[in-house]
Amino acid sequence: MRVFKFGGASVKDAEGVKNLATVLKTTGYDNTLVVVSAMGKTTNAMERVIKNYFENKPELQSSIHDVIKYHNEILMDLFENEQHQVYGAVKSYFDELNRFLKSNKSPDYNYVYDQTIGFGELISTTIVSYYLNEIGLSNQWIDVREFIKTDNYYRRASVNWELTQEKITTGFNTSKLNLTQGFLGSDANNFTTTLGREGSDYTAAIFAYCLNADSVTIWKDVPGVLNADPRYFENAQLIHQISYREAIELAFYGATVIHPKTLQPMQRKEIPLYVKSFLNPQDKGTCVSKGRSLDPEIPCFIVKKNQTLISLSSLDFSYIVEENISDIFSLLHLYKMKVDVIQNSAISFSVCIDNLYDNLEKLLQHLKAKFNVTSYENVSLYTIRHYNETVIKELEKDKTVLLKQLTRETVQIVTK
């Protein structure tokens, strides 16, 4: 049993969907589960729909229409006969989306987000499934929400592993080519939940773990795991092999090629993970597997943009001790801040955070009741694994360094 995952870039248009089929024909598709994300930038477009629902109702239908138009263009490029039943199947999802937005009574943004955002995945997999069947690649479309069960922590749900294992073991036919959605699950009340942005990789790992899969392959528009994001760094190099441990470190610090949660279930069952190019499916790409000897010997660079650095000091120049730090982390947890770096001295404490839930102002007001607070928004966090002094100096050139922290293998630098 193999698990393949195709991200939004791989199915951003009709040619992408056709190329997905080519990859399956090239690599084989017996006993394969294919996990597919929303098409192109659909998740971003759906986030605009949600934003308009809460903040700009007059623009709501226009933003929904943009999503409909985008998918209809792909449909028309794939299916010339507009009477094909795929058109009705896709329309039914948009009808369901509109019914939800009209009938919803909940003011909870995170709940509404999860009930809305997943239509991107449901529609993309429906289109891909119908197309594969159309060209003779018989497949079974499955609703991932019937298999991956979670708590109700909307937008970042935790998997109920015992129930998920039971659902997959008893209800999954491994003899077919199966196709399902990434990113989604459901809670005890069968409301849709999401596993966090870029969570489709994690979906693939969950299925691989529960099915004891032979491997997982993540198909990307890059040749594999690179030592740096080519959008921000020149001369990025391909890493052919890497250990689970090193990949987990890179993912933890923000490397976007592999989702942070993806590697843990893979490591527990020693299931190899391949990262390969959907443009060149016969290339070897990168293999993530067991063995410290596989760690790269070159510096690896990660950058996270649009971060916030908060610096705190005590109001009376007293020490910031365990009690203060406990209070700070309680507030960070309360306002759902993702912590990327912390640094403290006797009377100061700095933390670099990702304001995922747009709660920064509430957090700052709460902190100002107990501390002197300075915040720097839209800063960049650079992480270098296996650094040397030369690459640090090159990175810091022409930048204002706000915070710098070194350990034996890793340096983190916050810049403005």
For the annotated binding site for ATP, the residues are 231
Q: Taking the CA atoms of the chain, what radius of gyration do you get in angstroms?
A: 23
The Cα 352–Cα 369 span in angstroms is 20
Q: Which helix (H) or strand (E) holds 52?
A: helix 42-55
Q: Are 25 and 88 in contact (CB under 8 A)?
A: no
Helix axes 109-117, 85-103, angle to 10 degrees: 170
Tally of CB atoms within 10 A around 158? 13
Strand, coil or helix: what is 33?
strand
DSSP conformation class of 168: H
Dihedrals phi, psi of 158, to nearest 5 degrees: -100, 140
Dihedrals phi, psi of 71, to nearest 5 degrees: -70, -35
Q: Which amino acids are annotated as binding site, given as ranges?
A: 231
Tally of CB atoms within 10 A around 166? 14
